[in-house]
Amino acid sequence: MDLSQLTIPMFPLNMIVLPSETVKLHIFEDRYKQLIQDCLDNEAEFGIPYLQAKRLTRYGSQVKIKKILKQFPDGEMDVLIEGTTIFKLIEFSEVLSPKLYGAGIVATEPIEKGIHAIVLQELIIDYFSLTQNKLLQYDAIKSLSVYDIASQLLISAQEKYKLITHKNKTSFLTQHLKLILQIIKAEAELKDRFLNN
């Protein structure tokens, strides 16, 4: 077996959690209460294969449990999870007997740190200065991954899915940022015109 392949518990959802991104989940089904408890007991991670229009796709997020935020008397809970990597689903079993939840064999992808494309670096600097009033340095950008940037863009699950499945993630992110910046600048121009009238 390839070293990058492993079997992990699965929780299919209509979401992509990018590496280092955090998300709150409300757990209410018995099988997923069991999954969360098993992961906590074994300090294990689990997979979220992406459901698109209620159909299982071949890609998803591997996540770890950061914190139990709230536990309810009936066993339901709110948990905070954090993305650790992206995977390609090799095989999926809906139930991993005797457990109630499913599992899958996944191949994880290495996360490349460092954004080296000059065009993308400049777009990132523009984006953060326009939207968050942050002045980023080129050196800081070089230590980030495309996923670090994408998680700041508040993009939809479908757009995240397009990113993680794209052969050239830098190119995808560059095009996406160009579009976002065009919209931001057009809105600013409209606002200025409105205020000046």
179 C-beta neighbours (distance < 10 Å), count: 10
Amino acid at 56: L
At 181, give phi and psi (nearest 5°): -65, -35
Q: Which two tokens stand for residue 84?
A: 């650790």
SS3 112: coil
Q: Measure the CA angle with vertex 132, ends 129 and 135; round to 5°.
A: 40
Check whether 1 has a pLDDT greater than 70: no
Residue 158 — pLDDT band, cuts 50, 70, 90?
very high
What contacts 73, CB < 8 A, 6 or more positions away? none
pTM: 0.85
Query: Are 46 and 136 a contacting pair, CB within 8 Å?
Result: no
Q: What is the pLDDT of residue 3?
A: 47
- Tokens at residue 191, please? 């606002």
Strand runs labelled E in 11-54? 22-27, 46-52
Q: What is the pLDDT of residue 110?
A: 83
Interatomic CA distance for residues 71 and 75, integer angstroms: 7
Q: Are residues 19 and 84 in contact, defined by beta-carbon separation less than 8 angstroms? A: yes
Q: How far apart are CA 144 and CA 20, in angstroms?
A: 11
Residues of the chain above pLDDT 70, percent: 95
Helix (H, G, I), strand (E, B) or coil at 162: helix
pLDDT band at 144 (very low <50, low <70, confident <90, very high): confident
Cis ω before 98 (30° cut-off from 0) = yes
Q: Which domains does the chain have, with CATH numbers?
A: 5-108 (2.30.130.40), 118-196 (no CATH)
